[in-house]
């Protein structure tokens, strides 16, 4: 842990824990389902494993973006009284 001196970290900027857990569970379930389809449809022309893997990856990436949405750098748009926007 980095020593921050007299600065206090902003705990309200933590990522959403429930969404992160849901993203991890979605990745695990989607990966297992995709592996099942890969093993089952190994010799068929249509491969549901690839489609499932792509769909799972997209869902997990969207959930990670939602989980870390608090890091939108809102402090850069915050202007205190007396701040000159030059």
pLDDT digits (tens, 9 = 90+) for 10-56: 666 678 889 999 999 999 999 999 998 888 766 776 788 888 999 99
Q: How many CA atoms are closer than 13 Å to the CA of 78, on its beta-carbon side? A: 5
Q: If we measure between CA atoms, which residue out of 70, 72, 73 comes closest to residue 17?
A: 70
What is the reported pLDDT for 18? 92
Residue 17's alpha-carbon distances to 24, 35, 42, 60, in angstroms, are 11, 27, 37, 14
Instruction: State the Cα–Cα distance between residues 62 and 86, nearest whole angstrom.
Output: 37
What is the reported pLDDT for 73? 60
Place of tokens 């959930």: 63
pTM: 0.68
């Amino acid at each position: 842990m980095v020593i921050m001196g007299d600065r206090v970290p902003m705990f309200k900027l933590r990522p959403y824990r429930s969404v992160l857990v849901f993203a991890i569970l979605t990745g695990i379930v989607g990966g297992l389902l995709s592996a099942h389809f890969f093993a089952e449809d190994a010799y068929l022309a249509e491969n549901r494993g690839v489609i499932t893997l792509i769909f799972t990856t997209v869902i997990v990436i969207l959930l990670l973006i939602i989980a870390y949405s608090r890091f939108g750098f809102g402090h850069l748009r915050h202007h205190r009284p007396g701040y000159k926007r030059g």
